Amino acid sequence: MLKHSRRNRTLFVGNGQLILATLATGALAGLGAVGFHYLADRFGEFLFTWGESHRALTRLPIVLTLPALGLGLVGLILQFIPESRKGGVTEVLTSMEIEHGIIPLRRMVNVFLSGLVLAFGGSVGPEGPMVQMGALAGSLLGQRLGMTKRHLQTIVRAGVAAGIAAAFRSPAGGVLLTLEIFGARFNQDLTAVGIAAAIGYLTRTAILGDAYPFRPPGVIDPLPLTALLVVVPLMGAVAAPAGHFFIWMFNRVGTMFPSKWPLSLRVGFGGLLVGVIGIWYPQVLSAGYPVIEQGLRGGIVFELFVVLLGLKMLATSITFGSGAVGGLFAPTLVIGAMYGGAWGYGIHRILPQVVPQPEIFVLLGMVVMFGSIVKGYWSGLLMVADMSGCYHQLVLPGVIAGGVSYFLSWEIHDRSIFGLTLDQVQRRREIEHAEPAEVSV
């Protein structure tokens, strides 16, 4: 009887700690998302406001100078503080597999630098650093409370879900991505993951609002049967090799920067190259979410969708290939939106009765590319549905196109852009012990 009572008391204390840590982690992840927004987005808007109000040639100095000097400064910090190069999704995965959820506080330096890269126009995203912040909050709280390894890993995954939910404004997507990518399971611990995701989402939207950042301006009707049976599956099938091409480019461009150059020079030169693209196509700078909204409003023609698709792939590959840090989720969504827009508006031009509302393909493109590049099929579908509010319009075509893309992508490339297999994570850790990695995503 006494042993049974002690066991119940221990279980109650452990679950009580987990509940408190879950609530606190969700709130901290939401607040962290707000802080990162002001660092990356508002500071970036301040820097580029003047340049965007001028024509291409007159804004040339500021568009070239800001990314080059700003990213060069980030590269200088990365060069002198090698530990700051570690971060992002890959580092969280490594900590889960190797360190059992222990993440040191110094990883915040990488988050801060990722925000600066974004503010200065580097083609990165905010979601990876927000994942890092959520995981870090959970890890520090769990360590402070003396949690067991199992509960510590649970609360880290809860922080990941909260960070994703706050970044994408999608609590359901945060839970599913944690299941698909970060090793969560359908068991009792998933409750903590779900609660933290909801708290992170509510905290972020209570302060900043904007619960549906990609809501189309008008009512979207369901796709016609011909589009569902022909266009949608074909779009998903082509997305798999397109995603593979981006992963190939991403890895290839990184080998083109001279390894003998100091890291500060490499990152600064990468910023200069991205700035050159941004003179004529500023849509590729930073996360690039405004171009998605523009596509949903019908403000982009077919030819521009195609051009921006290639240039966003190139700008992202240059930014990370030079050694800069940041997130990859946002570039993936922008690439997907441009891909989908090219399909939708291209077919609408030829067969308007098959695709009467091409803007739905902008959303659908994000789903298929998320499945192909990130290997997040269901999470990508739910996140895009949450961000747009187009649940009924997206579920059926998203399941078809996203499923085809996801299935074929595994046949073409057997890992996501993050390299998520355990063996690859372990090899990266071995390399980093010898020489810190220069790319965090």
- pLDDT, tens only, 358-387: 999 999 999 999 999 998 889 899 999 999
**% residues pLDDT > 90 (the chain):** 58
Class of domain 2-208: mainly alpha
* Separation between Cα atoms, residue 374 and residue 240, nearest integer Å: 11
The yes-or-no verdict on residue 432 having pLDDT over 70 is no
Helix (H) or strand (E) holding 366: helix 359-369
In the chain, what are the domain boundaries?
2-208, 225-434
Q: Are 227 and 343 in contact (CB under 8 A)?
A: no
Q: How many residues does the chain have?
A: 441
Q: How confident is the model at residue 48 (pLDDT cuts 50, 70, 90)?
A: confident
Average pLDDT rounded to a whole number, residues 314-322: 95
In three-state secondary structure terms, 70 is helix
The yes-or-no verdict on residue 431 having pLDDT over 60 is no
What sections of 299-357 are H helices per DSSP? Answer: 302-321, 329-350
Q: How confident is the model at residue 51 (pLDDT cuts 50, 70, 90)?
A: low
Output the pLDDT for position 255. Answer: 87
Q: Are 192 and 14 in contact (CB under 8 A)?
A: no
Domain 2-208 shares a fold with domain 225-434: yes
The yes-or-no verdict on residue 6 having pLDDT over 70 is no
* Separation between Cα atoms, residue 90 and residue 418, nearest integer Å: 6
Angle at 341 between CA 335 and CA 343, to 5 degrees: 110
The yes-or-no verdict on residue 420 having pLDDT over 80 is no
Q: What is the pLDDT of residues 228-246, one digit of tens each?
A: 999 999 999 999 999 999 9
Beta carbons within 10 angstroms of residue 176's beta carbon? 24
Given the candidates 1.10.3080.10, 1.10.10.10, 1.10.3430.10, 1.10.3720.10, the CATH classification of the domain at 225-434 is 1.10.3080.10
